[in-house]
Structure 1
Amino acid sequence: MITDIYNWQVQAKEYFIQENYLQAAKLYEQAIAIEPNTISYYWDLGLLMLLQGQEAEAQMTWMLPMTEADEEQLPIWTNQLFQILQIEAERRETLAEYSLAWLIRQHMREINPSYINNLLQILILSLKLEKIEEIDDLNKWGLIESLKAKEDIEIDIELLIQVLKEFLTIIPLNPVNLNLIEASLPYFPDTHQCFSILLPAAMRIGHTLRQPMLAASILSLHLRLEPDNVEILRHLATFYQDARNYSQGIEIARLCYSLSEGLADKIFALHLLLRGLMSAGGYWQEICTTSQELETVFQQFIKAERIPLEEGRILRLLTPSFAIPHIKDAPADFRAIHNQVAEVFNFYIKALAQSEGKIYCHNNTNNKKLYGATKKLKIGYVSYALRNHSVGWLARWLFQHHDRDKFDIHTYFVNYTLVNDYLQEWYLGQAGKPRQLGMNGLEIADQIYQDEIDILIDLDSITLDITSEVMALKPAPIQVTWLGWDASGIPAIDYFIADPYVLPDDAQNYYTEKIWRLPQTYIAVDGFEVGVPTLRRDDLDIPMDAVVYLSAQRGYKRHPETTKWQMQIIKQVANSYFLIKGLAEEETIKRFFYQIAEEEGVDCSRLRFLPQVHLESVHRANLGIADIVLDTFPYNGATTTLEILWMGIPLVTRVGEQFAARNSYTMMMNAGITEGIAWTNEEYIEWGVRLGNDAALREQISWKLRQSRQIAPLWNGKQFTREMEKAYEQMWQRYIEAK
């Protein structure tokens, strides 16, 4: 029997702290028997029962005094119970006992369903406990409606911001979740705080998780607060284009350019506009005027006084050059501009690194490194594309055939994310020492420097700004560009891998990197996986005796001049059809081809537009429907050309002067095929017509291509790897001799 109120409460508290809830509950039961009108005893006893897992008993205990309460007492007593539960929930959260805290707060929600701060806490706990079903039922809580009402709300703004941060970091979003973000925006004390939360989340969702439309939805919400925020508009244009919503992406890019003031901002806005226009696969007049404007702004930027630029603006300087070689084949003129921009880029990146205390010194190389003839070279590969990507498909034979006894391989995965990607998983197994990294160039460079890489190979060139930043920082004593694109022009890069064909003899005159020509080919593969075809002539309403031409490239490689040549070929070859495949905006690309066909006198009924297929192996199998493939110019196929040659299909290509206009040429030469190589526009048309009219010649080329699989350098990944490794050793020898 309880006789001393103070002593029994002290004892009950000790039991509670010791989690001896049963003994503590007995003391409260005795206290209620003595003082049944002390309401707080019921609250504490019910809590003890709840902590023992007796939820129904807890609720009954709390309800006992409530049934006796009058109208004035009921809200007071309800609030007392709510406060006791809140104190205990907060204590459990401090102890990281999230399951108990979540349970307590659920009962708080039953007591006061509309108290927003408790609902927000439940959301945070549900995220921590991965109770996705709770989050999916968000509409039932009334939280979004209460936020939208904005009447009589006592809301903890910091708590709301924490909810959004957790929300955007942990789970994929659905329309209900987006409604929560939208309803929360008016509560932000300033727009910059909203910007600093939504933009990083959108970039992670759009780029790392590869859900661009979802990222665009998030950024569109922020535009309601700041319609003219150029930084948001830049990313929004990119995400719309990545989601193949080209019309919106183009419109946002135009708006972005109209609002851009500084030269660096104008350069990137023009890039975004070109990116959208070219990806859509049409708009050629606007493409040409925009490209001319880009070159003009580039020239202005080169001549302008060097003013401080923050990292984001620096990183955007190089990528815009990517568009120009798709439009014209003038490498000497192009590189005269691009190399200067790359030099400015390198200057800014070095200044940024120095301000962060990042200076990589390679002068103190130890004696073993300098003079050890048997030194095992550390080779580093850095790329965002070692996955289901053209670079991923082509680089794998080098990784597979590397001599691990002579070379220590390190692989740096930029913007790595765990996704269901067979090729990425393969690379992780072949990577030697894999580093799964994010999108911070300084951190990536630090890792490379700490690993003491001897020769660093850039597989991305200017196609990813983060990789360009890493290379400009010079974390390795020897740096090389291979495969991803043309040379980047960054002064910190020493060599550009080429071969006897892919660059003309005088190319060194306009390259800042030393061109390192491998003896035969700059790329080789052992082959490709080929699946089961899903295309048949009868499905496309094409006669079995027809001559089928194919062009399989993305929209941004579609040049109207080349398309005219292709139409002239179709016109001259009786009973011929032209299949068009590649990512583009469907209606725009159709208008583009139909207009040129009509201008050249070709019946549009002879054109067929093929759907995309998801599996690369099926894509390759479907190439077999073609008798002849017509290459693009001035930007040739690369991966597609290799696939076409592997499938034994004759190819017509126009050879130009720039790297992008000579890819098919070098691949055909290294497969032992000269038929179909054109050095003029007229030759391109002539080869196309000749191959269409000469079935025996087509069969002869197909036979030669099948035979080449056993003998040609293009299909000998192991031999190619030995040649690359020899190049690495010679680069290193030159380096130590210079030291």
Structure 2
Amino acid sequence: MITDIYNWQNQAEQYFIQEKYSQAAKLYEEAIAIEPNTISYYCHLGLLLLLQGQEAEAQMTWMLPMTEADEEQLEIWTNELFQFLQIEAERREIREEYSIAWLIRQHMREVNPIDINNLLHILQLCLKLEKFEEIKDLHEWGIIEILNEPESLNINSELLIQVLEEILNTAPLHAINLNLVEACLPYFSDTYQCFCLILTTAMTIGHTLRQPLLAAELLKLHLQLEPENVEILRHLAVFYQDARHYSQGIETAKLCYSLSEGLADKIFALHLLLRGLMSAGGYWQEICETCEELEGIYQEFIKAQPISLEEARILRLLTPSFAIPHIKDTPANFRAIHNKVAEIFNTDIQTLAKSQGKKYDAQEKKLKTPSKKLKIGYISYALRNHSVGWLARWLFQHHDQDKFDIHTYFVNYQLVDDFLQDWYVQKAGNAHKLGMNGLKIAEQIYQDEIDILIDLDSITLDITSEVMALKPAPIQVTWLGWDASGIPAIDYYIADPYVLPDDAQNYYTEKIWRLPQTYIAVDGFEVGVPTLRREDLNIPGDAVVYLSAQRGYKRHPETTKWQMQIIKQVPNSYFLIKGLSEEEAIKRFFYQIAEEEGVDCSRLRFLPQVSLESVHRANLGIADIVLDTYPYNGATTTLETLWMGIPLVTRVGEQFAARNSYTMMINAGVTQGIAWTDEEYIEWGVCLGKDASLRQQISWQLRQSRHTAPLWNGKQFTLEMENAYEQMWQRYVEEK
């Protein structure tokens, strides 16, 4: 029985601290019986009941004094209760008792459903407790409506922005509410803070989580604050293009170019424009004009040196070169420009690193004793469901890990459902799952004391180029990803006797290391069940079917003219066209050339994409002949075609990209279909179309070659690569 007010309250507090809630509650029940008009007793008793899981009883206790209160008393009572619960919620948050804090704040929401700061705290607790479905259902709380009427609110803007940042950084995609982001925009006093938050989140969503359209929608919100923010527009163009909204991507890239002032910014804006035009396919005149403009600005940039650039602009210098070999086959001229830009890139990256106290003395590393393993490092963002991922795997499969210490550096590692990436992690030796910070990646490689670092990306990823320019390993090599990057810090470029002409060393800065037979080999491909049938495409069973399966940016009008001339000369022939592109643009492109060459457009078929690589390969079997692209050949598609035993017609050029199919056919033991002139390409196409027995002979040769040809011998290829590594190291030792 309560006799001393001070003593019983002190005792109740002690019970509360000791979490003896029932004993404390009993004391407050007795106090209410003695002093029924003391509001604070009801606050405490309700809280104690709530902490014991008696939510209904707690609600009834808090409501009890309200039943007979007038309007003024009711407001005083609810405010007191709200403040009381808020103090306890904050205490629980400090103690990281988030579940209890969340429960208390939910009851605060019952007391005052429009207190915005409490709602923000609930959102924050939902994130900590991973109650993402509640975040998704923001409309039920009315929080967005409240934010959109700021004049009547006392919003803690700092808390609001903190909660928004936590939502964008931790919530799954389905819980990210763009309406909430838009409602928060007026509360950013610092536009740059908003820019950093939205761009960082969009990069993660668009690239790491592969949701480019959602990333684009997020970036568009920031344009409400800064409609001409070029950095936002750059990324917006990329995300539109990645989402195959090519028209929007092209228009955004054009806007970027119109707003760009410096030469480096103009170079990258033209890259974005070419990326969109070429991916869409069919915009050939505009592509050629843009490419010519790019080369001109590159020349201006070279002449204007030295130009002081920050890291982001330096990183953007090399990738735009990717477009040019798709348009023309003039490697000596191309590399004269590209190598100079790569030299500037290399110098600027190293200068930047030194200014930040980073310097790698890999060339000064202590030489190994002959008995120690060579440390081989591979770096790539593409060891996943990607052309590089499909082609590099046999080297990883057959590597002698008793003889070599293998390290693999996964740039921008993504936790996604990708069986090929998972396979590489298992086969990678020491797998390093890394982000997109070039300096940190280079530091990791340097600390691992890698002897030979192999770049599988070339200029297709700026971060990999940055790492190679920093020279974290004494010997650096480019293989597979594209052509040679031209970066002076790279020592060797892997080729073979065929993929580069004899005089290629005259215009390469890297030492060309020619493997004895082939620069690539695979043990084969997984092949699924075909989903294409001739009758489904309204093609007669006795027709001759030609196929071209390449992305839109490899579609050159001159090559397409040759292909139409072949179709025209082969009776009862059809041409199947497959590859990522803008459907209407690529149709216009092919229909126009077909009409110019006198080919009925009804003989053309445009095939849809399929989700599985194995089904794509199976569907190649519908073709009698595959017609390669030029001046940029197929690579993975050529290997798949040859593996499926399908005759191929290719035009051999001078640059690496124009000789891929040539070296692959030679290393598969087949020469029929290799053309050295435009006329020969047409002749081979017509010959193979009209001569069924020749097609059968080539198909038989290709199937037999699986047992004998270098192209299908991944184990022998791996031995030759390993031998090359040992010879490179021996040269390095002798030079030192």
TM bin, normalised by shorter chain, reads over 0.9
- 1:30: Cα distance to partner? 1.8
Q: Match of 1:72, SS?
A: helix
- 1:147: Cα distance to partner? 1.1
What's 1:63 paired with?
63
Q: Does 1:719 align with 2:716?
A: yes
The partner residue of 2:463 within 461, 466, 477 is 466
1:267-416 to structure 2, matched below 5 A, reads 267-367=267-367, 369=368, 372-416=369-413
Distance (whole Å) between structure 1 residues aligned to residue 80 and residue 269 of structure 2: 59
CA contact (8 A) 2:133 2:175 kept: no
| Counterpart code for 1:223 | L
Q: Deviations over 1:405-459 (max 9, x none)?
A: 1101000111001111110010011010000001111111111111111000000
| Counterpart code for 2:356 | E
What's 1:542 paired with?
539
What's 1:592 paired with?
589
Q: Match of 2:706, SS?
A: helix
Distance (whole Å) between structure 2 residues aligned to residue 149 and residue 690 of structure 1: 74
Cα RMSD (Å): 0.9
What's 1:264 paired with?
264
What's 2:666 paired with?
669
Q: Deviations over 1:200-246 (max 9, x none)?
A: 00001101111100100100111111110000000000000000010
CA contact (8 A) 1:322 1:463 kept: yes
CA contact (8 A) 2:135 2:175 kept: no
- 1:3: Cα distance to partner? 2.3
- 1:363: Cα distance to partner? 4.5
TM-score with structure 1 setting the length: 0.99
- 1:364: Cα distance to partner? 4.2
The partner residue of 1:484 within 481, 486, 493 is 481
- 1:305: Cα distance to partner? 3.0
CA contact (8 A) 2:363 2:473 kept: no
What's 1:493 paired with?
490
- 1:170: Cα distance to partner? 1.4
Q: Match of 1:412, SS?
A: strand
Distance (whole Å) between structure 2 residues aligned to residue 72 and residue 213 of structure 1: 52
What's 1:424 paired with?
421
What's 1:733 paired with?
730
Q: Match of 1:515, SS?
A: strand
Q: Does 1:245 align with 2:245?
A: yes
| Counterpart code for 2:190 | D
Q: Match of 2:153, SS?
A: coil
What's 2:180 paired with?
180
The runs of at least 4 consecutive aligned structure 1 residues that moved more than 4 Å come to none
| Counterpart code for 1:537 | R
CA contact (8 A) 1:380 1:412 kept: yes
| Counterpart code for 2:713 | N
Distance (whole Å) between structure 2 residues aligned to residue 581 and residue 172 of structure 1: 34
- 1:680: Cα distance to partner? 0.5
| Counterpart code for 2:501 | P
CA contact (8 A) 2:544 2:572 kept: yes
What's 1:18 paired with?
18
What's 1:552 paired with?
549
CA contact (8 A) 1:496 1:514 kept: yes
What's 1:610 paired with?
607
| Counterpart code for 1:238 | V
Distance (whole Å) between structure 1 residues aligned to residue 103 and residue 693 of structure 2: 79
Moved more, 146-155 or 593-602: 146-155
Distance (whole Å) between structure 2 residues aligned to residue 330 and residue 307 of structure 1: 28
Q: What is the count of residue pairs matched by the alignment? A: 736
- 1:308: Cα distance to partner? 2.3
The partner residue of 1:630 within 627, 632, 655 is 627
| Counterpart code for 2:437 | N
What's 2:508 paired with?
511
Distance (whole Å) between structure 1 residues aligned to residue 363 and residue 185 of structure 2: 53
Distance (whole Å) between structure 1 residues aligned to residue 352 and residue 13 of structure 2: 58
Q: Match of 2:577, SS?
A: strand
Q: Match of 1:68, SS?
A: coil
Moved more, 46-55 or 714-723: 46-55
Q: Does 1:640 align with 2:634?
A: no
Unaligned stretches of 5+ in structure 1?
A: none
What's 1:255 paired with?
255
- 1:9: Cα distance to partner? 1.8
What's 1:140 paired with?
140
Distance (whole Å) between structure 2 residues aligned to residue 246 and residue 556 of structure 1: 12
Distance (whole Å) between structure 1 residues aligned to residue 183 and residue 362 of structure 2: 54
Q: Match of 1:711, SS?
A: coil
- 1:282: Cα distance to partner? 1.2
- 1:175: Cα distance to partner? 8.7
CA contact (8 A) 1:138 1:176 kept: no
Q: Match of 1:286, SS?
A: helix
Distance (whole Å) between structure 1 residues aligned to residue 103 and residue 559 of structure 2: 68
Distance (whole Å) between structure 1 residues aligned to residue 656 and residue 679 of structure 2: 21
The partner residue of 1:688 within 685, 688, 693 is 685
Distance (whole Å) between structure 1 residues aligned to residue 304 and residue 175 of structure 2: 47
CA contact (8 A) 2:277 2:287 kept: yes
| Counterpart code for 2:214 | L
Q: Does 1:565 align with 2:562?
A: yes
What's 1:52 paired with?
52
What's 2:122 paired with?
122
Q: Deviations over 1:320-360 (max 9, x none)?
A: 00000000000000000000000111111101111111111
What's 1:27 paired with?
27
- 1:22: Cα distance to partner? 1.6
Unaligned stretches of 5+ in structure 2?
A: none
Identity %: 82
Q: Deviations over 1:457-498 (max 9, x none)?
A: 000000000100111111111000000000000011000000
Moved more, 62-71 or 706-715: 62-71
| Counterpart code for 1:108 | M
What's 1:164 paired with?
164
- 1:307: Cα distance to partner? 2.9
- 1:26: Cα distance to partner? 1.6
Q: Deviations over 1:589-638 (max 9, x none)?
A: 00000000000000000000000000000000000000000000000000
CA contact (8 A) 1:139 1:176 kept: no
| Counterpart code for 1:292 | E
Distance (whole Å) between structure 2 residues aligned to residue 469 and residue 667 of structure 1: 31
Distance (whole Å) between structure 1 residues aligned to residue 347 and residue 132 of structure 2: 48
Q: Deviations over 1:527-568 (max 9, x none)?
A: 000000000000000000100000000000000000000000
- 1:7: Cα distance to partner? 2.1
Distance (whole Å) between structure 2 residues aligned to residue 153 and residue 618 of structure 1: 58
Q: Match of 1:629, SS?
A: strand
| Counterpart code for 2:192 | H
Distance (whole Å) between structure 1 residues aligned to residue 691 and residue 323 of structure 2: 37
Q: Does 1:43 align with 2:47?
A: no
